[in-house]
Every structure is written in structure tokens, then in C-alpha cells.
Chains A and B, each alone.
Chain A
Amino acid sequence: MPSHQHRGARLLALPLALTLLGAACGGGTGENADPDVAGGGSGGDGAGSGTVDVSGSSTVEPISSAVAQLFEEANPDAVVNVDGPGTGDGFQLFCDGETDISDASRPISPEEIATCEENGVEFVELKIAFDGIAVLTNPANDTIACLNFADQYALVGPESQGFETWAAAQPLAGELGSNTELPELPLQITAPGAESGTYDSYVEIVLEDLAEEREQEAEPRPDYSSQGDDSAIIQATEANEGAFGWVGFAFADRAGEGVKILEIDGGDGCVAPSAETIADGSYPVSRPLFIYVSAEAAESNPTVAAYVDFYLGEGIDQVGEVGYVALPEDLLAETASAWEERRTGAKEA
């Protein structure tokens, strides 16, 4: 039965043929993945043909992705991968040498600097934009228009575990000196989790000082719904009348009528977030956005350097396109000079 005998061989022949075909077709562009060059897994023969690995903040991700898309259009052989697991997770990968650039929505922390140092990773810190953190509630919640830091501490701070309604936080808020009237609505908090820089920024700006005063850990109450996806926070806020959450301003702005953005009183009166108030610093809950570039990658991988050049040049317009606040001229110049000189080390710790 020769036909049966050959059938078995034919079964294996097909995938083998496919693979050989693939080798023939792909042989030409195979040079791209030259694995001998450290930093990115492929150096290639020029600035426009290597691989750049970017990871980190989900807030900065849209900017880096938009810039990457444009960069790839200008340099068809380049490959720029952008991921957004969170600022903290991003730094872990970065300090492990696994990524070339780390997006961050907060400055690198002392522990992270120490880990990077331990692993011999040097970085160039580049501020690229401003972002505000919008504090949200549902539009149906019409008794509240403005919250101060004491209110927010009472609602979501470390001592607030178990508060089921907004009004339940009233006594604590009063203790801290606020006289905002909190409604009798069920309190449903949806906000970023600990992997997110937005979480870190919010905790640092809103909760830290009060927590220190009251000798508590600067942490939010553990019983809130932590979401990695900013859009999920928006959705949850739209769906629940007593919702409370915080998210990057660009996301909130885009969400339009579905959410109500609260004004924040940081001690100088109630201010609503907008491009202007974030840029001039009058909106209290705002933070700079960074990219941290591995000095070693910048040196050994021309594509990384080209990408960052592009980022700070034509690409920086994407900051506004995506919805964040562009840096004023002087700060942008500072960033540019820091990059040109490849100044390593953190300024903002």
C-alpha cells in the first residue's frame, strides 16, 4: 500500500515545506534581527532599522504610541513596541534591562533608582508633558461641585475603610477642617491601582501630607475597585450615581457628558482642570510626564536615539494631539538640552 506509506511522510512534508518557503522568503529581511547587538535585540545597519522597546505608564502610552506610529511611517524598517502595564511595572522592566525607554507619569523613586544602579542601568530623565488628574463623579451627583484635600482624604484615605456612603466620611472631613457637605449617596470608588503612576501621583499630591500629619500610611483605603484601564474607570463612573474616581485629565475630558469633573481646592480656592490651569500650575492635582531613556541603549542602538530625537522634535506635537498639556518653551528647551548632553541621573526624586 504505497499510498498509505507516503501519506505519513506527506503529513510532515507540508509544514517542513512551509518553513523552508518561509526561510526563502524571509531570508532577505532576516538581517533586521541581528541579535548580536545588545540593547533592543537588533542594531541593524542604520538608525532607521532597529527595534525599540518602550514600556511603562498607561498615561504616557498614547503619546509614545502616536509618536511611534509617525516614526515608523518615516522610517519603514524601524520597529517600536509600546506597552502600558503601569509606571511601576515599567520601571521594573527598565531597571532589569529589558526595555529601552520607560514611560512614567511620576518621577522615578529612590528605590527604583537604587535598583537601576544595582543592575548598572543608567538613564536620561526627560520631561515631556504635563497632565492633570481629574477627580470624577457621576453627573447625577449634583450636591458636590468642589472638593478640598481634606474631603478627599476622608473619602478615600487610609482611615476611610468601610465608609459606604459619602456622608459617612463627613465626620472625618470635619475633623480635618473641611465644611463641605457630603451627600447621602452610596460611595463607589473606581480608581487606578498600585501599578499606575496616576495612583502614585494622586496619593502623593492629595493624601501624603494629611496622612503624615495623622501618622498614617500614605495609602488609599484598600476597599476600592482598582482598575488598570483608565477607560474602565470612566465607564464605571458613568454607571453609578455615587461614583468617585480619579483618572488622567485627557481621558476625563474625552469622556464628555458622561462624567462630572470636580473642581479641586488646594488651599487657594476651587479650580477646575483645563489646559491652562494645568500649564500654569493653578490646578493643584497635576504632574509632569516623563520618558526615561536607557543611556546604554541610546548609545548602542541608533534607532533608540533616532526615536527620541524624533519624539522631542516633530513628535512632541502629539502631546497636544492626544490630549495632554504641552510643556512651555523653557521647559522643553531644558529637556532638549538634557537629551543632547545625555545627562544621566534623576533630578526630580
Chain B
Amino acid sequence: MAAVAPHPRTAELVRARLEQGKLDVAGTLFRWLLVGTLALSVGVLAVLLIDVVTGGWGVLSSRLVDFLTSADRTSAEEAGVFQGLRGTFWIGVFTVVLAFPVGIGAAIYLEEYAPRSRFTRIIDINIRNLAGVPSVVYGILGLAIFVKTLASLPDWLGGGPLTGGRTVMSGGIIIAILVLPIVIITSAEAIRAVPDSIREAGFGVGATRWEVVRSHVLPYALPGILTGTVLALARALGEAAPLILVGAVQGRLGGGPGSLVDLGQLQERFTAMPIMITNWSGEFAEGFQDELAPAAIVVLLVFVFLANGTAILLRNRYAKRR
């Protein structure tokens, strides 16, 4: 809860009276310094967005649809991000299907069922630590499990003798694992914010714990949970380091555009939007670094900001309802 100041006008009048017109140099300077830091942060964000949009404008304005539906090509005039979109799409699907249910379930356990025991504390500390583990270490986990260990297991699990498990399934699963702690923590916070009176109302009429959760707690906490999960999704869409270690193709991914939801693609080599951006950023050949990379960034940012904006909107709308 921030300091609740009195109406600004009143405060100013009182302050003016007290200071009797003396100039508060240090205070004003300090205040402007703070505004300056804020302005600098916002300014840098603006510069970044302008830089990226102006760089990619050429490609986006002249051949947007072609750009979105073409595969990566050697010539900058023909290359497109479709393969990246497909990979990012599947990673999003895996995140939603795997991380959300498990994360919300874990949060429900921690907030509703768990006794105040040592075990619970350990789980809690553990989750907080997992949230702080660098993404590249998750990449190593993916490498060790999916690419190395499971490579010798049957192929339906994402491994295979030659592809070695460097598939979009492996990438999707590992990113789901990466955002799982975030989902748990934000969902737990949302559930914790539900007033106990609501729960007690449910118990009072004889409901079991699950029935109370399902019919009283979850609906109340849903906006907060949704906000958290959408933020986690935005994070998942932008991750690259784990994908590099799990074997996303950084050179030429074959196969052309193809269809978006081809399930057969799940066991093939893959790439994703952040990976394509990384490759194109370092590609000094004509047109890639200065036009295609920013264009791809704009496409990615559209999705990320969309997710973020949705989360903020949700939060604001339901905050008002309280």
C-alpha cells in the first residue's frame, strides 16, 4: 500500500505556507532527479521500440503476409518467419497444456491442503529457487534428459536415434518446466488473497475441501491466476537459451513452410522466433541484421505485448470489482 497522500492541492498549499516561499533546492533537485531516472528508463524503451519498428518497417510494410508465411531462405528478400512462428506456437501449446494445470494444482495444494510442516517449507523454498535458476541451466536439463538419456528410449517420447531428441517436443516440455515455478508462485498468491470468509462459508454448509476450492476459491482467484499464467506464457514465448541447448536449428531448417498444426512436426528438428531473431541478428549478410531481424522482433513483440496487455487488462478489470 503506497503512502496515501492527501489531495495534492491541499498538500501544496500547506507546504507553500510552511515554507513561506523559500526555495527547497535539495528537495526539488531530488525530485527532478527521480523523474529523470524514470524518464530515462521510459525513454530507452521508446528508443528501442522506435529502432526496431523503423528497422523492420521496410519488410513489414512491403511484404507482410509473405514474411509471415515463408520459410527461412538464403536471400533476404524471400526469407520469412513461418518456421519460427510454428515452433513458438507449439512451445506455447506445451506451456499451456503442461505448466498451467500442474502449476495451478501445485498452488492449490500449497495454499489449501498443505500442513505447516517442514516438508511444505522445503517445497516452498524449492519453488522459489527454481524460479531464480538461469534459463540456460534448464537448457542443460533438457539436453541431459531429452537429447542424451531419452535418445535411446522409444521414439514416441520425443527421442530418436538420429534426431536425438532435438525436437520441438523436447523444447516445449523444457520451457513448460521453466515457467512452472512462475505459474505456481503467482497462482499461490492469487489463492492466498482469497478471504477466509469465503472458504468458511463453504465449509459451513458441509462442503469438502475440494468442493470449497472448486466452487468458491478458484472462481474468486481466477483473475489473479489468469494474470499470472498469461505472464508466464509471455515469458515462455521469448525464451531462447534453453532451446539452443536442446538443439534448435540455427542454420537452415529444412522443410519449407508446411502447415502450422502438423502433429508430425513435433518429432522433427525445429526453430522458434527468438532463435530466428538471434541468428538473423548475427548474420551480417545483406538485409538480415538491419531489416529482417527487427521485422521478426516486431512480430514477436506483438505477441508478447498482446499477452502482457491482456494480463494487465484482466488485473485492472477484476481489481475494480473488489
Which residues of A approach B to under 8 Å, CB–CB? 1, 4-5, 7-8, 11-12, 15-16, 18-19, 21-23, 25-27, 29-33, 35-36, 38-42, 51-53, 55, 61-62, 65-66, 68-69, 72, 76, 78-85, 97-100, 229, 231-232, 234-235, 297
Q: Is B284's CB within 8 Å of the partner chain A?
A: yes
Given A81-B249, A81-B252, decide whether A35 and B222 contact each other with a Cβ distance below 8 A: no
What's the tally of chain B residues with a CB closer than 8 Å to chain A?
43
B160 and A41 contacting across the interface, CB-CB below 8 Å: yes
CB distance from B156 to the nearest CB of A (A): 8
> How many interface contacts (CB-CB < 8 Å) are there between A and B?
144
B residues less than 8 Å from A65 (CB atoms): 74, 251-252
CB under 8 Å from chain A, chain B span 156-196? 156, 160-164
Q: Is B264's CB within 8 Å of the partner chain A?
A: yes
A8 and B255 contacting across the interface, CB-CB below 8 Å: no
B residues less than 8 Å from A27 (CB atoms): 263
> Looking at the complex, which one of B265, B267, B284 makes contact with A35 (CB distance below 8 Å)?
B267
A1 and B219 contacting across the interface, CB-CB below 8 Å: yes
A residues less than 8 Å from B163 (CB atoms): 40-41, 51, 53, 98
CB under 8 Å from chain A, chain B span 228-258? 249-256, 258
Q: Is B268's CB within 8 Å of the partner chain A?
A: yes
Q: Is B215's CB within 8 Å of the partner chain A?
A: yes
Given A25-B261, A69-B74, decide whether A41 and B161 contact each other with a Cβ distance below 8 A: yes
CB distance from B289 to the nearest CB of A (A): 9
Which of A35, A84, A297: most chain B Cβ within 10 A? Answer: A35
B269 and A5 contacting across the interface, CB-CB below 8 Å: no
Q: A25-B261, A26-B259, A51-B268 are in contact. List 18 more A-B contacts (CB 8 A).
A: A4-B215, A7-B219, A18-B261, A26-B261, A27-B263, A33-B266, A35-B156, A39-B162, A41-B155, A41-B160, A55-B251, A72-B255, A80-B254, A82-B251, A83-B251, A98-B163, A98-B164, A99-B162
CB distance from B12 to the nearest CB of A (A): 46
B162 and A53 contacting across the interface, CB-CB below 8 Å: yes
CB under 8 Å from chain A, chain B span 257-288? 258-259, 261-269, 282-285
> Looking at the complex, which one of A12, A53, A66, A100 makes contact with B269 (CB distance below 8 Å)?
A53
> Looking at the complex, which one of A29, A31, A66 makes contact with B74 (CB distance below 8 Å)?
A66
Q: For residue B161, which residue of chain A has the nearest CB?
A: A38
CB distance from A270 to the nearest CB of B (A): 29
B residues less than 8 Å from A53 (CB atoms): 162-163, 269
B residues less than 8 Å from A11 (CB atoms): 100, 226
CB under 8 Å from chain A, chain B span 120-177? 155-156, 160-164
Given A15-B96, A25-B259, decide whether A231 and B254 contact each other with a Cβ distance below 8 A: no
A21 and B261 contacting across the interface, CB-CB below 8 Å: yes
A35 and B268 contacting across the interface, CB-CB below 8 Å: no
Q: Is B76's CB within 8 Å of the partner chain A?
A: no
Complexed CA–CA distance, A84 and B161 (Å): 21
Q: Is B93's CB within 8 Å of the partner chain A?
A: yes
Q: For residue A227, which residue of chain B has the nearest CB?
A: B282
Which of A11, A23, A78, A232: most chain B Cβ within 10 A? Answer: A11
CB under 8 Å from chain A, chain B span 193-225? 214-215, 218-219, 222
> Looking at the complex, which one of B161, B256, B258 makes contact with A97 (CB distance below 8 Å)?
B161
Complexed CA–CA distance, A53 and B166 (Å): 12
CB distance from A38 to the nearest CB of B (A): 5
